Amino acid sequence: MFDIILNQRKAVLATVVLIVFTLYLVGLVIYRLYLSPIAKFPGPKLAAATYLYEGYYDVVKRGKYTFKIRDLHLEYGPIIRINPSELHIYDADYYDSLYNREGRWEKNPYYVNSLGNTMSGFATVDHDLHRLRRAAINPFFSKQKVTALQPVIQRLVDKLCTRFENVRGTDEVVSLECAFDAFTMDVITEYSLDTSFGYLDQPGWNSDFRELERAFGQTAHIQKMFPPFIAIMNSLPDWATLWMEPRMKLLIDFTRNCYAIAERMVKETDGEKYQQKTHPTIFYEIIHSDLPPLEKTAKRLQEETAAILGAGAVTTAWTLTVAMYHLTVQPQKLERLRAEITSIMPDPKQPAKLQQLEQLPYLTSVIMESLRLSNGIVTRLARVAPDRSIYYHDWEIPQGTPVGMTSTLIHQNADIFPDPLEFAPERWIDPKERQRLERYLVPFSKGSRNCAGINLAWAEMYLMLASVCTRFKLELYETTREDVDIYSDMLIAEPKRYANGVRFRIK
């Protein structure tokens, strides 16, 4: 009898819990659809009601929400609601109004949490804390500092070229993306840590790093929908992680490696070891700065390390890959570029100064067009005005509302860039037209939270293209536009045939 009563009470309790939970969900949906401060904005009701709408396109369909957003704009207009809390604007002329240095701008915690490293400067939500963290690293990415770094960059350019020389004329196939990943990673580690990871010395250019990039993009979409995901994966034994998702092991190992680096940097705080550094480095300067002690812990530096190494390598390498693909399939453009470079660099093994390369109009145009087609971070980057409403034409966007724009959609806008999928450096040649178009070239974003490493990225691209384009002839190997054109938003661009890579033989 007692068991019967107990079971009945359990059934009643379960029913009550189910009813309460159902009422909560119904109330939440009603609030989001009709009572939310952004309920008035157009967009699909399902997207306004649940984040699962976005999750379907990014997790199930794998990085497709960016392109769905473009379709929604065509249906609903230039400003739309894309999830329960966030707005999106598709109007390139508004970009400078949203991404600027006036007033307080914060990041969207919903996006930041997907990165799994909320203590890095890139992922810092709060305006004041971001300004503090950014001020500590800004001097090391200044134009003056990067120009002084040319010998370091050029030495690594030459190392890559030496490896190309070693396979020239053979049947060996080179994954150009992996080669450029190795180069940019070695540059950023030497610059940041005064010790290179040595990817340029490794067989296969350490192709695992390319898989790590892809794993991170997919993980970020899952983490955005299910915030405990990374913590759970980190807590599992390695064998379980490998069984569930082999590439996650690469991500976890990278995180652990960054923590080991950070711990070593924190321990090496005595003056003698610091003086042994061959050039000033970002993290040693942070440790020796007047930042608060909490900003110098191993955990904080580990997350900053991971963010700078990842952001400082991946997007630049992909831009170089896109550039070389398009130059190879359009040899007349490559010949024009070679002629321009050799006019100041007649001996390809005697590199020109960075300042000279920056004055070459066609080389600069090639880089700009490659940046446009490669996009940098391809996902939307929402901003939050925490202390004021902002306005888009007649629309008042309430204080604290995340609102974003997407560089990919701007770069593929045919009204701004006719034939937007075509590689056309010539569109940047005329000085007046370049000045007009530069406003819409936003792979590094703009404003107080733009990419800190923009000067370093430009230097790497100038020096690498000048050497590779004049020293080698590249022959595509089983590579098509499907290996290059963006197909999915995995934070960075993912082509349709991403597993193959962009492959060449060196001639």
pLDDT averaged over consecutive 10-residue blocks of the chain (507 residues)?
66 83 92 97 98 96 97 98 98 98 94 81 93 90 92 96 96 94 93 84 83 79 84 75 70 77 73 58 78 87 84 91 98 98 96 97 99 93 97 98 98 98 98 97 96 96 98 95 94 85 93
Beta bridge partners of 175: 503
CA neighbours closer than 13 Å in the CB half-sphere of residue 440: 24
At 46 the pLDDT is: 98
CA neighbours closer than 13 Å in the CB half-sphere of residue 46: 7
At 273 the pLDDT is: 56
Question: What is d(CA 191, CA 153) in angstroms, rounded to the nearest whole number?
Answer: 9
What does R_g of the chain's alpha carbons equal in angstroms?
25
Residue 451 carries which DSSP code? Answer: -
User: Number of helices and strands (H, E) in the chain?
Assistant: 23, 12
Question: What is d(CA 185, CA 209) in angstroms, rounded to the nearest whole number?
Answer: 9
At 501 the pLDDT is: 85
Q: Which residues contact 344 (CB under 8 A, 6 or more apart)?
A: 352, 356, 357, 360
Structure tokens at 396: 């008042």
Structure tokens at 1: 């009898």
DSSP for 114-127, written as a single string:
GGT-TTSSTT--SH
Q: Which of 256, 254, 245, 253 is nearest to 223 (CA)?
A: 245
What is the distance in angstroms between the CA of the first residue and the CA of the last residue of the chain? Answer: 87
pTM over 0.75: yes
Please, are residues 437 and 120 in contact by the beta-carbon 8 Å criterion?
no
Strands 174-175 and 503-506: antiparallel
Q: Which of 504, 458, 470, 464 is nearest to 157 (CA)?
A: 464
Q: How many CB atoms lie under 10 A from the CB of residue 203?
A: 6
Q: Which residues are annotated binding-site positions for heme? A: 451
